[in-house]
Amino acid sequence: MSCGKHHDSGNCVCDILKEIVAAQNDVLSDCNTSCEQSIGDLLGDTGGSGRDTVPVLLYCKGNCKPFKGFGARRDSIEDIKGSYYFRVKDVDKDCCATIELLRDPHDNDEDPDSPVKQFTKYLKATGICISVDLDCFCHVTCLPAITALS
């Protein structure tokens, strides 16, 4: 798969995330790239049925560092949490995305220093969503598909 084979916005990160959204929505109603493999797992093409999320890491343009998002649930604004891992909820025609923070409920570090220090064994959807401009990112890493919504 090339970068987002079903879309052609001219933005590779945007196109991949649009493809992930489409695959995730389908689930709910040896030289493969990590994103292609994860999308295949999500759709059950490669034996990964029962999964509903492709966790992604995004890398900012310029410094090429992993992006960490922050937010709080509506009912606990005093409890700000950070995460490097996201579930793509939506990508609009202008490549603006709504992404949901994924966190392991056993991780007590609300502000992890790096993606490798954040707990990932039981990543779950948090209900904390943020909006991002995908033109600000130069790279996306897809992790293996998981069940994050239950």
Residue type, 56: V
**pLDDT at res. 140:** 93
**pLDDT at res. 28:** 59
C-beta contacts of 68-71 below 8 A and 24+ residues apart: 68/112, 69/99, 69/101, 69/130, 69/132, 70/130, 71/101, 71/126, 71/128, 71/129, 71/130
Lookup result for tokens 């991949």:
16
**pLDDT at res. 31:** 36
How many C-beta atoms lie closer than 10 Å to residue 11's C-beta? 19
The pLDDT tens digits along the chain (150 residues) read 345 455 566 678 898 888 888 887 776 544 345 687 788 888 876 555 688 999 999 999 998 899 999 999 988 899 999 999 999 999 999 999 999 999 999 999 999 999 999 999 999 999 999 999 999 999 999 999 999 997
* Helical spans, DSSP H, in 29-71: 34-43
CA 148/CA 104 separation, integer angstroms: 10
